[in-house]
Copies of this chain bind each other. A is one copy, B any other.
Amino acid sequence: MNQIRDLQELINTSISEINLNFKPTELYEPIIYSLSNGGKRLRPLLALVGCDLFNGKIEDALQLAIGMEIFHNFTLVHDDIMDNAPLRRGKETVYKKWDQNIAILSGDTMFALAYHHICSTKPDVLPMILEVFNQTAREVCEGQQYDMNFEGQKLISLKDYIEMIRLKTGVLLGCCLKAGALCGGASAESAQYLYEFGVNLGISFQIKDDYLDIFGNEEAFGKLNCGDIIARKKTFLYLKALEIAGIETRNEIIRVYNDLSISDNERVKLIKYYFIELGIKEVAELEMERFYSLGLEFLKKIEIPEEQFRLLLSISTSMMERSH
Interface positions of A (Cβ within 8 A of B): 22-24, 26-27, 78, 81-82, 101-102, 104-105, 107-109, 111-113, 115-116, 119, 123, 126-127, 130-131, 134-135, 137-138, 141-142, 144-146, 148-149
B149 touches A24 (CB 8 A): yes
A182–B102 Cα gap in the complex (Å)?
34
- Number of copies of this protein chain within its complex: 2
Tell whether, in the assembled complex, residue B119 and residue A137 are in contact, meaning their CB atoms are under 8 Å apart.
no
Flag if A119 contacts B111 (CB, 8 Å). no
CB-CB under 8 A for A119 and B134, given A78-B104, A104-B104, A148-B101 = yes
Whether the pair A109, B149 counts as a contact (CB closer than 8 A) is: no
Q: A82-B104, A105-B82, A146-B24 are in contact. Are A112 and B137 (CB under 8 A)?
A: yes
Is B24 touching A109 in the complex (CB atoms < 8 A)?
A: no
Known interface pairs A112-B134, A138-B116; A145-B82 also in contact (CB < 8 Å): no
| For the complex of A and B, 6 pairs with smallest distance between CB atoms | A112-B137, A27-B145, A109-B141, A116-B134, A82-B101, A112-B138
- Contacts known (A24-B146, A146-B24); A141 close to B108, Cβ less than 8 A: yes
| B123 touching A137, Cβ below 8 Å | no
The distance in angstroms between the C-alpha atoms of A107 and B141, with both chains bound, is 10
Nearest opposing residue in chain B for A103, CB measure: B104
| A119 to chain B: closest residue by CB | B130
User: Do B23 and A142 have beta carbons less than 8 Å apart?
Assistant: yes
Collect the chain B residues with CB atoms within 8 Å of residue A107's CB: 108
Can you identify 11 A-B contacts, CB atoms within 8 angstroms? Answer: A78-B108, A82-B101, A101-B148, A108-B111, A108-B141, A112-B138, A115-B130, A115-B134, A115-B137, A119-B131, A119-B134
